[in-house]
Amino acid sequence: MRNAIIVPLTKMPFPKRIGPPAWADWFTTCKRSVEIQRSLAALGTDSEILVLTATQFTGARPEREYYVDALRELGAEHIRVVVECYETIEQIETMVKMAKDEGKELIVVSTWLHYPRALWLLKGSGAELTWTFGIPNAKYAIMDIILNFAFPVLDVLGLRGWFRRRTTVRRVENQY
């Protein structure tokens, strides 16, 4: 039985990254997830790392393959891949439900620019949230900064569903 689910809430591993892969925000999130898994194991707590994404962009491998390869390279012991979810809202709703349904602790590891939005979306869930620093993709960094301020406003205006549908359609169509 797995007592904890660790979820690297990663950012896209491609394209056009500055610096070596080990400095990228998505990679540091995977690295921290493995560190947490090892720490829990040392305390006698069994855990798994959950990779939760269905995203695949034109000309690239499925996003989950990048994460699983990195997690294995870093020495992750138990990895569960769930091919669902195209965006952050859906990922968080799904991981919270999974942890609750399975009676497990949820630990979410976010990138530093994604952290404020993850904190907003996880409020009241009982999940533990931590973050890592790494070099972001410039395009997605700008979007994260904007969404950190805009998302609570969208929520207050009741536009979460609209935003989620719009983002999902773009990713399903590989236009993101």
Is residue 25 a contact partner of residue 132, using CB atoms and an 8 Å limit?
yes
Is residue 95 a contact partner of residue 7, using CB atoms and an 8 Å limit?
yes
- The domain locations on the chain are 4-172
* Burial category of 159 from C-beta neighbours within 10 Å (exposed 0-12, middle 13-18, buried 19 and up): middle
- Cα 91 to Cα 7, 39, 51: the distances in Å are 10, 24, 10
Per-residue pLDDT of the chain (176 residues; tens, 9 = 90+): 469 999 999 878 866 678 888 999 999 999 999 999 999 999 999 999 999 998 887 778 898 999 999 999 999 999 999 999 888 899 999 999 999 999 999 999 999 999 999 999 999 999 999 999 999 988 888 888 998 898 889 889 998 889 888 887 777 776 44
At the top level of CATH, the class of 4-172 is alpha beta
Tally the C-alpha atoms within 13 A of residue 67's C-alpha that lie toward its C-beta: 29
